[in-house]
């Protein structure tokens, strides 16, 4: 959905690929005309590129799940991977991670209201064919594209390794935006600790901070846990409702120019 404030602008988002990311990540992608996937950056062992956060198996006597979450992790070959860019990370061919992930998801979410009607038809075919992926980049980007198709998110995807990038942090992001002729950069608030807002202004690129909050929904537990994977959302919330959450509203993301931009 186009925002009238930015209808004559080209909005870019730069993100590392995430394995079935959380909904806030997808909200950024929903705003973007240009999604630049940072495949040329170094892999982060504790990052989200290869991991998805879901609710855990175990429950205590009161029925509340503990710990708060568990990880689904896509395994890569370990030798030398910490020095390689994301695009070069190879999956472990001897690890049946996809079937293991599906069994975990069926166990955790099998009794949720939308498992049979929405979750399983959408996701099981993907896990059944995930053995075709040779690299972490292929698997993560494919998981994101599945979400894009289901939620009608349509950015044009570019790989940073195919663009004229230079420098690090702010300089790199500005060069990537310039490579795709973007004049608006939509960034998560976590980046505010290191991005140079003046450099964006000098480059004639408007910097917009994400101020979006996921709506709470019934997760089948006593307390709501935010920032779980889209997998958790799809088991509990109809796709039509998720799309509504991601739509631009007068009081929501991009609705108030003064509240979301730096300049």
pLDDT reported for residue 118: 98
DSSP-derived pairing of the beta strands 70-73 and 51-54: antiparallel
What digits encode the pLDDT tens for the residues 33-48?
Answer: 999 999 998 766 666 6
Residue 34: φ, ψ to 5°:
-125, 115
Does 105 have pLDDT greater than 90? yes
User: Quick check: 116 and 106 in contact, CB under 8 A?
Assistant: no
pLDDT average, residue stretch 157-167: 91
pLDDT average, residue stretch 76-94: 79
Using the 8-state DSSP alphabet, how is residue 22 labeled? B
Rg (CA), the chain: 19
Cβ-based burial of 164 (10 A; exposed 0-12, middle 13-18, buried ≥19)? exposed
What digits encode the pLDDT tens for the residues 229-261?
Answer: 999 999 999 999 999 999 876 544 454 444 445
Does 114 have pLDDT greater than 70? yes
What digits encode the pLDDT tens for the residues 166-196?
Answer: 888 899 999 999 999 999 999 998 888 889 9
Number of separate domains in the chain: 1
**Cα distances (angstroms) measured from residue 158 to each of 15, 92, 172, 263:** 11, 26, 15, 26
Residue 236: CA count within 13 A, CB half-sphere: 20
**Cα distances (angstroms) measured from residue 230 to each of 24, 26, 194:** 9, 9, 27
User: Quick check: 195 and 201 in contact, CB under 8 A?
Assistant: no
Give the tokens for residue 85.
């860019």
- Please give the residue range of the domain that contains residue 145: 4-260
């Amino acid at each position: 959905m186009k925002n009238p404030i930015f209808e004559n602008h080209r909005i870019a988002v730069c993100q590392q690929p995430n394995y079935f990311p959380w909904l806030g990540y997808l909200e950024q992608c929903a705003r973007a005309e240009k999604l630049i996937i940072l495949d040329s950056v170094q892999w982060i062992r504790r990052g989200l590129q290869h991991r998805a956060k879901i609710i855990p198996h175990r429950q205590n006597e009161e029925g509340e799940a503990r710990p708060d979450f568990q990880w689904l992790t896509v395994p890569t070959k370990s030798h030398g991977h910490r020095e390689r860019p994301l695009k070069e990370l190879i999956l472990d061919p001897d690890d049946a991670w996809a079937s293991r992930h599906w069994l975990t998801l069926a166990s955790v979410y099998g009794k949720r209201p939308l498992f049979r009607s929405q979750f399983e038809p959408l996701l099981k075919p993907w896990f059944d064919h995930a053995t075709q992926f040779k690299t972490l980049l292929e698997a993560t980007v494919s998981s994101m594209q599945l979400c894009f198709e289901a939620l009608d998110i349509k950015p044009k995807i570019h790989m940073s390794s195919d663009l004229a990038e230079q420098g690090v942090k702010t300089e790199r992001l500005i060069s990537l935006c310039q490579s795709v002729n973007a004049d608006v950069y939509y960034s998560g608030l976590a980046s505010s600790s290191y991005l140079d807002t003046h450099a964006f202004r000098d480059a004639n690129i408007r910097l917009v901070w994400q101020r979006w909050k996921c709506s709470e929904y019934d997760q089948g537990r006593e307390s709501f846990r935010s920032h779980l994977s889209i997998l958790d959302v799809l088991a509990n919330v109809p796709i039509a409702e998720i799309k509504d959450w991601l739509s631009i509203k007068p009081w929501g993301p991009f609705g108030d120019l003064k509240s979301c931009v730096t300049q």
